[in-house]
Each structure stands twice: as structure tokens, then as C-alpha cells.
């Protein structure tokens, strides 16, 4: 199902199957709630069993890299090759002790590059065995690559807070996401969110009064 289909289904359930042009709930409000509870359920499920289903994951395609000053961004000698993504990475769902980035590596999907914490970067040049191996890490919303060994693009996959943000990323064949794509959420989670919203927040909103008289007071019917 697409996000529009999920949102329209929720709106129809709130209406009780009747067309209504005077409701207090907008589609944008419903979509916001769907994204919010999706992130909450993903984090809860991961905390309980540590499982990430592939139906939640999104691919950012081929991300261009640009070289940066290693001394300013990472407290490394200027001779150290450090690159970062030209575009910021969308915010990910928050897991227990890390971001929900599931893959960083070559655009073939076969060459995984380990992700480390930013504080570990300054120790890399002194590592006897892996000093020349590529590493990735996040600073603010950018992905940094230490010693990319000639790579000018990188592939990133993850579970993002707002799946629609991926629309600004492109693969070689087109956009990574648009409104006609299946929303990255398994059907059992769609059912949970639908039940929760219909019986909870959206039900309260649907029963609230509006101010059609512009007198800052609710108009009773």
C-alpha cells in the first residue's frame, strides 16, 4: 500500500464511510501520525527482539562524495583522505545505541564499509592493521568516509523517520521514492497503526468542534 492509500483508508474509517467536507482532520495530519507511530513501533520492536525487516529499509542510491579538510572536520592530519556525502542523510529511526543505518559501502551492494563512532576517527591513523581500510561515520547529518580508496560515490541504506524525504535522492534509473511507491512498512504494522489511530488520537480530533465564526470559540452544532 502507498502512504496515500493508508491515509485515505484511515480517513474513510473516521468518516464511517460517509463523504464529509467539514471534518477537522486533514490528510497531511493523518500522514504525520502514520510516520510518527511507524517510527515508535520500529524502535519498540527493535528494542524487544533486535530484528529489522527488509520491508522497512530504504535505499538512497548513489551518493556523490566530496573531499573535506580532515583537520577541521575530524581532528586528523591534513594528509588523511576524508570525504563526505554532498547531500545530508535523512534522519533515521533511533535504535538503542546507534542510528538505523543498515548498509554503507560500494554502489554494487557487495563491498560493505564498517561504520564507527566519530570519536574513534582520530585513532585510525595509528591502527597497525586497519589504518588504510575505509571507515564511515556520521557527523551531524552527513556521512563521512575515511580513506575511500578511489570511490567517488557510496551507497547508503537505512530505516528513516520520514520515508518521503527519500524523494530528493536518485538512482541511475530515477527517483529512489515517489508517492506511488509502496510505503516501507509491513502490513501487520499498518493494521496496528490503523487500529491505534482510529480508536485514539484521530477519533478525538474527529469529535472536536471547529471555529467557523472566527470568534476564537468552538462552534457547537
Residues 202 and 130 in one domain: no
Residues 78 and 155 in one domain: yes
Total of domains in the chain: 2
Residues 160 and 62 in one domain: yes
Q: Of the candidates 152, 158, 105, which has an alpha carbon nearest to the alpha carbon of residue 133?
A: 105
Low-confidence ranges of the chain (pLDDT < 70): 16-24, 171-174, 201-221
Burial of 99 (0-12, 13-18, 19+ CB in 10 A): middle
**Is 178 within the bounds of a domain?**
no
What is the pairing mode between strands 153-158 and 135-139?
unpaired
Q: What is the pTM of this model?
A: 0.81
**Is 215 within the bounds of a domain?**
no
**Is 175 within the bounds of a domain?**
no
Query: Do the beta carbons of residue 142 and residue 89 sit within 8 Å?
Result: yes
| pLDDT tens digit sequence for 105-125 | 998 888 899 999 988 888 888
Q: What is the dihedral sign for C-alpha 97, 101, 102, 106?
A: negative
Q: Which domain holds residue 25?
A: 3-53+184-206
**Is 219 within the bounds of a domain?**
no
**Is 176 within the bounds of a domain?**
no
Q: Which three cell numbers stand for residue 38?
A: 511507524
Residues 49 and 63 in one domain: no
Q: Of the candidates 109, 94, 97, which has an alpha carbon nearest to the alpha carbon of residue 59?
A: 109
CA distance 4 to 2: 5
Amino acid at each position: 500500500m502507498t502512504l496515500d492509500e493508508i491515509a485515505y483508508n484511515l480517513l474513510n474509517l473516521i468518516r464511517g464511510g460517509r463523504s464529509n467536507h467539514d471534518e477537522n482532520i486533514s490528510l497531511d495530519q493523518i500522514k504525520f501520525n502514520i510516520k510518527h507511530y511507524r517510527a515508535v513501533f520500529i524502535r519498540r520492536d527493535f528494542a524487544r527482539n533486535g530484528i529489522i525487516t527488509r520491508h522497512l529499509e530504504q535505499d538512497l542510491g548513489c551518493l556523490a562524495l566530496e573531499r573535506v579538510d580532515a583537520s577541521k572536520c575530524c581532528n586528523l592530519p591534513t594528509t588523511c583522505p576524508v570525504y563526505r556525502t554532498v547531500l545530508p542523510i535523512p534522519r533515521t529511526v533511533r535504535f538503542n545505541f546507534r542510528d538505523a543505518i543498515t548498509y554503507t559501502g560500494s554502489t554494487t551492494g557487495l563491498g560493505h564499509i564498517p561504520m564507527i563512532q566519530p570519536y574513534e576517527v582520530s585513532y585510525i591513523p595509528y591502527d597497525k592493521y586497519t589504518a588504510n581500510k575505509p571507515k564511515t561515520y556520521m557527523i551531524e547529518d552527513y556521512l563521512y568516509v575515511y580513506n575511500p580508496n578511489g570511490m567517488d560515490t557510496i551507497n547508503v541504506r537505512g530505516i528513516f523517520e520520514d520515508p518521503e524525504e527519500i524523494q530528493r535522492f536518485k538512482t541511475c534509473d530515477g527517483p529512489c521514492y515517489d508517492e506511488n511507491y509502496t510505503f516501507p512498512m509491513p502490513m501487520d504494522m499498518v493494521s496496528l497503526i490503523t487500529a491505534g489511530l482510529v480508536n485514539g488520537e484521530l477519533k478525538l480530533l474527529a469529535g472536536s468542534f471547529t471555529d467557523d465564526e472566527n470568534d476564537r470559540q468552538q462552534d457547537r452544532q
